Amino acid sequence: MYIAIAQIVISITLIVLILLQERSSGLSGVFGGSEEGFYQTRRGLERIIFGATIFFAAALVVLSLVNIYLK
């Protein structure tokens, strides 16, 4: 039961983090997202959000595998 709740919380967090990463639309425009056509390196908060997205995606996969194993 606790694993299912953790999966829900992590998935909602992952959705928010992915929406914050969107370059041309979504919530990133609120925080100064640019519409320029060239690639920029990630710096500051954008780098933290990118790393957190990878972490939460991996955590969701691990929790899903644990949930399957326990059932």
In the chain, the percentage of residues whose pLDDT exceeds 70 is: 73
pLDDT at residue 39 tops 80: no
Number of Cβ atoms within 10 Å of the Cβ of 64: 14
Is residue 24 scored above 90 in pLDDT?
no
For residue 38, what pLDDT is reported?
60
Q: Quick one: pLDDT at residue 70?
A: 93
pTM, rounded to two decimals: 0.72
Structure tokens at 33: 């997202």
Residue type at 18? I
The two tokens of residue 61 are 């996969």
Q: In the prediction, which pLDDT does 31 show? A: 60
